Amino acid sequence: MNCTLCGDRAVILIREEQLSLCKQHLIQRILDYSRTVLEMIKPGGTSIRIAVATSGGKDSTVCLHILHSLLEEYTLDIIAIAVDEGIEGFRNIKLHRLKKFAQNLGVDLNVVSFKEFFGASLDEMVKLSLGKGFMYKPCTICGVLRRYLLNKTARELGVEYLATGHNMDDEAQSILMNILKNNIDKIARSAPITAIKHKKFIPRLKPLYYCTEKEVMTYALIQHFEIPVVDCPYLFFNERRILRRWLNKVEYLRPGTKKRLISLKNRISLNSQREPTKRVKLCTKCGEPSSEDICKTCQILEYLEINMDGG
C-alpha cells in the first residue's frame, strides 16, 4: 500500500476518506489538526502557558509530544501534570516510563497523588467503597478525583490551559453516551476548547480533537514511543468500554460514523437555544468549582469517610 499523496510506503489507511498516508504525511496531518485547535486560542506572539494532563498512555503521550513539536511555532510554555491514583501494578509502571519521556523532551513533570492529597490511594478507596455497599465504582471515584486534582494543580501552577489527550473517538463516545442519557447540555458543551468560564476553572484544550484513535496510535508507533502495555485492573467497571467496542464495530461497517457524530454535535450546539441548567459555583466545603453546592469529590470523600489531607 502506497501513500495517496506521494507514492511512498503507507503506514495507515483512512477508510472513510479512501486515503493512504506515509509516515511524513500522517505526521503532517496530525500537526495540522493540532494547529487548527491552537489557532482558536489566538496566541498572537504572546507566550501561552499550557499544562498537559499526562498518564503515560498513548493519547496523552502523543498530545505532549505534538505540543512540544509546536512549542516554538506557537510560543508555548509547556509543563506536564500526572496524577498518581495509587493503582498497584499499573500507575507505577506508567509513571516510570512517563518520567523518562518528559525528561527526554526537557518538560517539567509535576506528579500529584491521591494518597498525599486525599489521604488514601484509589486501591484503598475501592476497598472502603466495597465495604459500604459499592455505591461509587472505581472509575467514578478515579475520574472525579483526577479531574479535581488536575484542575487545582494546573491553577496553582499558573497555566492558562489544561491540555488533554482526548481524540475524536473519545468525543464520539461521549456524545453517544450523553445522547443515551438525554444530556443535551453536555453534548452542546463538547468542543476542542471548553466554554466553561470561572476564575478557578482552567479551560480544557484538546489538540487531538480532530484526530482518530487509529491515527494517534499509528503516530505513537512510528515515533517509537515506549508505551507500557498494561491495563488498569478496574477496567471491567468502565461502562464506556462496551460503548467503545460497539461504536468501533459500527465504524468498521459504516466508515465515517464517528465523524458524523461530531457533525451531529456541531448541529446541536448551533441550534440549541437552551441555557445551561447548571451554573458553575464554588463548593461550600472545599471552595473548588462545582455545579452543585457540594462538589462530587467532597460527596465521594464523605461517603468513604475520608478527611481530605491536602485541602
Whether the per-residue pLDDT at 183 is higher than 80: the answer is yes
Residue 154: strand pairing partners:
none
Q: What's the CATH superfamily of 36-278?
A: HUPs (3.40.50.620)
258 pLDDT tier (thresholds 50, 70, 90): very high
Nearest to 97 by CA among 60, 71, 69, 66: 60
Q: What is the pLDDT of residues 8-59, one digit of tens each?
A: 999 999 999 999 999 999 999 999 999 999 999 976 668 899 999 999 999 9
Q: Using CA atoms, how far apart are residues 244 and 277, in angstroms rounded to an integer?
A: 28
Nearest to 167 by CA among 25, 11, 37, 77: 37
Return the number of other C-beta atoms located less than 10 Å from residue 195's C-beta: 12
pLDDT confidence of residue 189: 77
Q: Using CA atoms, how far apart are residues 45 and 48, in angstroms rounded to an integer?
A: 9
Whether the per-residue pLDDT at 311 is higher than 60: the answer is no
Q: What is the pLDDT of residues 60-100, one digit of tens each?
A: 999 999 999 999 999 999 999 999 999 999 999 999 999 99
pLDDT confidence of residue 30: 98
Nearest to 81 by CA among 116, 50, 52, 118: 52
- Average confidence score pLDDT of the chain: 92
pLDDT confidence of residue 278: 60
Question: Which amino acid, 301?
Answer: L
Provide the whole-model pTM. 0.93
Q: Using CA atoms, how far apart are residues 197 and 281, in angstroms rounded to an integer?
A: 11
Q: What is the pLDDT of residues 137-173, one digit of tens each?
A: 999 999 999 999 999 999 999 999 999 999 999 999 9
The grid coordinates listed for 126 are 475501592
Segment 279-301 mean pLDDT = 94
Q: List the chain domain ranges.
A: 36-278
